[in-house]
Amino acid sequence: MISTNFHLVIGILLFSIGVLGFIIRRNLLICFMSIELMLNSVNLIFVTYSNMVKSTIGLMYVFFIMAVAAAEVSIGLAIIILLFRQKGTVDMDSLNTLKG
């Protein structure tokens, strides 16, 4: 039986990788994947705790998150494709038109 702590540490590591990836990488697709990574790390933590306290509420949240993430991914990818068609690039450094 793998301990609860192991799962939690995996979750934290995944989240940190997602955060760092989002901040450091300049490719929009990679950043998008990092966001998904963060979502899934949260899912992992939900499942872990749900198992720990013997409650199904955490599992329920996981399903919600997966449903929302699926919808979000389809919209996000659509936006990225449109951006690519317009600008010809997905480099985030060139996407600063909201500069004040």
Partner 1 sequence: MFRYIVFIPLFPAIGAFLNGVFGHRFTKNAVHTIAITAIGLSFLFSLYAFFQLIGLPSHERVIEEVVYSWIGTGNFSVNVAFLLDPLSSIMLLVVTGVGFLIHIYSVGYMHHDKAYWRFFTYLNLFVFAMLLLVMGNNFLMMFVGWEGVGLCSYLLIGFWYEDNNNANAGKKAFVVNRVGDFGFILGIFLIFTTFGTITYREVFDKATMMLPYGGTLATAITLLLFVGATGKSAQIPLYVWLPDAMAGPTPVSALIHAATMVTAGVYMIARCNVLYSLAPFSLGVVATVGAVTALFAATMGLLQRDIKKVLAYSTISQLGYMFLGVGVAAYSAGVFHLMTHAFFKALLFLGAGSVIHAMGGEQDIMKMGGLRRHIPRTFLTFFIGTLAIAGTPGLAGFFSKDEILWQAFSSPHGHPVLWLIGAVAAGMTSFYMFRLTFLTFFGTERMDEHTKHHIHESPNSMVIPLMILAILSIVGGYVGVPEALGGSNHFHHFFEPVIRHIGEVKEGHFSHALEYGLMATSVGIAVIGFLISYTFYIKNPQLPEKLKNSMAGLYKLIFNKYYVDEIYEFVFVKGCKGLGTLLWQKFDVLVVDGIVNGAGTVVEFFGKTIRRLQTGYVQNYAVGILLGIVIILGIFIF
Q: Which residues in this chain contact partner 1 in the complex, by CB under 8 A?
A: 19, 22-23, 31, 92-93, 95-100
Q: Which is nearer to partner 1, 56 or 96 (CB)?
A: 96
Q: Which is nearer to partner 1, 1 or 23 (CB)?
A: 23
Q: Which is nearer to partner 1, 34 or 48 (CB)?
A: 34
Q: How far is the CB of 92 from partner 1 (least distance, A)?
A: 6
Q: How far is CA 22 from CA 1, 28, 38, 41, 55, in A?
A: 33, 9, 10, 14, 32
Q: Could you count the other beta carbons within 10 Å of the beta carbon of residue 2?
A: 7
